[in-house]
């Protein structure tokens, strides 16, 4: 509420009376002088009276001026001291008021009011600054703790390692005596505990949920001394955040394990396809030949036995070759130096192993191909070359790599072999029927790999005209 505006300079009544008396004295002096001047003869006492009147007026004026100088000098001195005190930060300093008859009394009061307002404002600002500083320090502490939690999560390679690192992080929390983490995973209960509390110490247990997107994954308990419980309760929001971070890490670990298992299952399926379509058939043929050899022993036909042994030796050699080929194919020649280098190395190896003439061409400008895409593309080219080796009876193979500025990529594998009847394109619904034909071994697997990278595979072939396999995808 604003204060009433009143005069800040107020002369006391005595000073006002003295000032009026001086004015009247000057009027009397002037009237007397005028009266004397109008007389024809000046009286003898006129000079004495005028001198006395002037003496009284001079003394009064001097006293009034001295009084004013003394008060204003004191005001200036007090004002200077007050300003210096404020400059030094002494907000409790006030202007001395003196007696209420002091002319600057009200002005001094107004200045003190200003000082009080300024002091209140300063105290309020200091309080707010202290609160904000405390909040900033608390947030810094929260960030340090969350940073340690994030490091514990990132440096863990397994669920057990994650829980142990997390346990160590929570153990370093201020005032914590014991920590227990319980995780429910795939109907399996996992718990890690670290208890450093003293036998005679009274502690309070705090339970924090471990959640991820409202999905309960477990809980962790911390025990703190009873006297520190209110302080820890103030950090409840931080503990909830830690529980959410742990929940996110547990969920990520679960997803990573599922992805790893899925990848292993996919590779096992691919290996099963390869073994079934190559080595298993060779072993079946070997078993049949062994049966024929046994029958030849019963007939005692040496020529027949020698022929069967030669055939059996050739089958064993083929089985050994196919086994080595499978091992080679399972080791993709990816050295991290780019897709072009991987395909080129693959073509050179194929040329050495098969003795076929291989022509490799590339007009490749695509960059930043991910490692996953590079592996899938290399595997697809491997499958295509494996089909050429097994079924095409080709003499020449041509590999072409092309990419456009828009990210469009094409890889062609073409041979001059016997080809096959491709009246219908290979579609996803045709996978089961195609796999039953010997000349299409591995095409289903190639199609699945192409789908993983958002691409597709096209086939062109006619009997006696060779085969063209084209992979299309975007970088």
The 3-state secondary structure of the chain, one letter per residue: CCCCCCCCCCCCHHHHHHHHHHHHHHHHHHHHHHHHHHCCCCCCHHHHHHHHHHHHHHHHHHHHHHHHHHHHHHHHHHHHHHHHHHHCCCCCCCCCCCCCCCCCHHHHHHHHHHHHHHHHHHHHHHHHHHHHHHHHHHHHHHHHHHHHHHHHHHCCCCHHHHHHHHHHHHHCCCCCCEEEEEEEECCEEEEEEEECCCCCCCEEEEEEEEEECCEEEEEEEEEEEHHHHHHHHHCHHHHHHHHHHHHHHHHHHHHHHHHHHHHHHHHHHHHHHHHHHHHHHHHHHHHHHHHHHHHHHHHCCHHHHHHHHHHHHHHHHHHHHHHHHHHHHHCCCCCCCCHHHHHHHHHHHHHHHHCCEEEEEEECCCCCCCHHHHHHHHHHHHHHHHHHHHHHCCCEEEEEEEECCCCEEEEEEEECCCCCCCCCCCCHHHHHHHHCCHHHCCHHHHHHHHHHCCCEEEEEECCCCCEEEEEEEEC
User: Mind listing the pLDDT tens digit of every residue in the chain (475 residues)?
Assistant: 455 555 556 666 677 777 788 888 888 888 877 777 777 777 777 777 778 878 888 887 888 788 778 777 777 777 887 888 877 877 777 877 777 667 777 777 888 888 888 888 888 898 999 888 888 887 887 787 778 777 777 776 677 777 777 777 776 666 677 777 878 766 556 666 766 666 666 777 888 888 888 888 888 877 777 776 676 667 777 778 888 888 888 888 778 778 888 878 877 776 776 676 566 666 766 776 777 777 777 777 777 777 777 777 777 887 777 777 667 666 555 555 688 988 998 898 888 878 889 999 999 988 888 888 888 898 889 888 888 887 888 899 999 999 998 889 999 999 998 887 766 444 444 444 434 444 455 677 788 889 888 899 998 988 888 899 999 998 8
Please report, in angstroms and rounded to a whole number, the separation of the first and last CA atoms in the chain.
Answer: 72
pLDDT at 272 (0 to 100) = 73
pLDDT at 190 (0 to 100) = 66
pLDDT at 439 (0 to 100) = 43
The answer to whether the beta carbons of residues 411 and 458 sit under 8 Å apart is no
Measure Cα distances from 225 to 77, 171, 206, 234 in Å.
60, 14, 11, 15
The residues facing 457 across adjacent strands are 471
pLDDT at 96 (0 to 100) = 78
Taking the whole predicted model, whether its pTM rises above 0.75 is answered as no
CB atoms within 10 A of CB 156: 17
pLDDT at 436 (0 to 100) = 42
């Amino acid at each position: 509420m604003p204060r009433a505006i009143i005069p800040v300079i107020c002369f006391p009544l005595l000073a006002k009376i003295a000032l009026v008396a001086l004015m009247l004295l000057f009027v009397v002096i002037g009237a007397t002088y005028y009266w004397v001047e109008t007389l024809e003869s000046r009286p003898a006492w006129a000079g004495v009276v005028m001198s006395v009147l002037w003496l009284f007026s001079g003394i009064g004026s001097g006293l009034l001026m001295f009084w004013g100088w003394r008060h204003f000098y004191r005001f200036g001195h007090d004002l200077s001291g007050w300003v210096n005190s404020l400059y030094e930060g002494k907000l409790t300093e006030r202007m001395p008021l003196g007696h209420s008859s002091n002319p600057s009394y009200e002005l001094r009061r107004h200045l003190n009011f200003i000082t009080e307002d300024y002091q209140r404002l300063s105290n309020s600002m200091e309080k707010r600054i202290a609160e904000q500083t405390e909040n900033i320090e608390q947030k810094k502490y929260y960030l340090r703790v969350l940073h340690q939690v994030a490091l514990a999560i990132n440096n863990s390679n397994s669920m057990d390692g994650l829980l142990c690192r997390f346990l160590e992080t929570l153990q370093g929390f201020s005032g914590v005596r014991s920590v227990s983490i319980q995780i429910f995973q795939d109907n399996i209960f996992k718990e890690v505990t670290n208890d450093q509390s003293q036998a005679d110490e009274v502690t309070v247990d705090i339970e924090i949920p471990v959640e991820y997107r409202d999905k309960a994954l477990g809980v962790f308990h911390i025990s703190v001394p009873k006297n520190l419980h209110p302080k820890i309760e103030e950090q409840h929001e931080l503990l909830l955040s830690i529980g959410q971070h742990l929940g996110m890490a547990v969920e990520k670990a679960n997803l990573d394990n599922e992805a790893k298992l899925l990848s292993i299952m996919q590779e096992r399926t691919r290996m099963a396809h390869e073994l079934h379509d190559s080595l298993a058939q060779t072993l079946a043929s070997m078993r049949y030949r062994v049966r024929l050899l046994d029958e030849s022993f019963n007939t005692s036909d040496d020529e027949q036995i020698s022929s069967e042994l030669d055939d059996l030796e050739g089958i064993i050699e083929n089985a050994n070759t196919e086994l080595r080929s499978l091992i080679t194919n399972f080791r993709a020649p990816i050295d991290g130096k780019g897709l072009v280098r991987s395909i080129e190395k693959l073509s050179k190896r194929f040329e050495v192993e098969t003795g076929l003439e291989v022509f490799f061409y590339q007009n490749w400008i695509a960059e930043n191909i991910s490692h996953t895409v590079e592996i899938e593309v290399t595997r697809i080219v491997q499958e295509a070359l494996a089909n050429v080796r097994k079924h095409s009876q080709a003499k020449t193979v041509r590999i072409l790599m092309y990419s456009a500025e828009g990210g469009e990529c094409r890889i062609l594998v073409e041979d001059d072999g016997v080809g096959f009847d491709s009246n219908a394109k290979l579609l996803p619904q045709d996978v089961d029927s195609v796999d039953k034909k010997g000349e299409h071994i591995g095409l289903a697997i190639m199609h699945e790999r192409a789908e993983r990278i958002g691409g597709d595979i096209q086939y062109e072939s006619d009997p006696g005209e060779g085969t063209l396999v084209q992979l299309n995808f975007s970088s």
